[in-house]
Structure 1
Amino acid sequence: MHPHLQVKSTNNDAFLESIISVIESVDCKEYFSNHLGKSQSDQKVIVAGFQSAICDALAANIPSTKWELEYRPSKSSRDSVDIFGSDEYSVIAIELDKHRADQVAKKFVSRVAILPETKVYYISLCYPGTANMSKPEVIKYFGFCSNLAKRMDNVYAGFTVESKT
């Protein structure tokens, strides 16, 4: 079980391809094979472990970028980016969420608005939440975020983690 790329805004960006490759290489089985039905606090611990695994894999495979967890781009806002990367050319924002289109759209808008005015690589990484959360709707919103990112000269990718082992 690995993250599965659903949407990307460009086929011509080597840096995006390296990020995609790293994210797709992370095994999710230990995090998401049996998390459904657990309490919110237990799920939060599971997601934090997955978040660390993704960040560690990125740091090991893309060392030219500085990676950190829970980065706060604005001191006046409580919003933080789950996984943040920066180098001299761009910033990378990776947000982990359940399969909820409203969360994907809300975070994309808010994070891109508060990030520095430089090229932004924005990644949505969604994991199973409940049976009522629509994965097709999330994928539809990945497409909207991708189109908006292109219009802003930024880059977008949307991933889902399957709930099956």
Structure 2
Amino acid sequence: MPERKSWAERLAHSAPRVIKEIPENMTKRLGPGSMVVPSAADVDAVIKMVGKRKLVTAREIGQSLARTHKTTVCCSVTTGICAWIAAHAAHEAEELGKSRITPYWRVLKPGGEINGKYPGGLAGVRRRLEEEGHVIVRDGKRHVVKDYEKKLAAI
């Protein structure tokens, strides 16, 4: 049985970026045009641009990549998967003693919700955000960053 790849290997050797026409079955929702399907390295690079006390959602990451690659849209599913890979690679690097890692805790779900599936879970991501001065509030079952819209990074 082959050994599992490390998260760093998955990040470095993810599927390459692809630019293609928006598939016909998606044009009703997205409209006509082109789509970038990013690599994990593409998404990781955008997350690294998010400074301290700033935030981003997967939607903003996708919009940034679409602008960069001059496409109509970015594949949101792939962007989310790649952000998850980047988060785990950063956590792995931190465990190996690296101090400068991709700030994955600054990537929020829609509506400013904390992503509890990132390394450290809800408590770990919350702690990191609060250390940067963000206020976390409960919204039903969700934990969201208060006034996150005012703290979105310009990427």
The TM-score normalised by the length of structure 2 is 0.29
Higher RCO (C-alpha under 8 Å, 6+ residues apart): 1
- Whichever of the two has the greater Rg, that structure is 2
Q: Which has the higher strand share?
A: 1
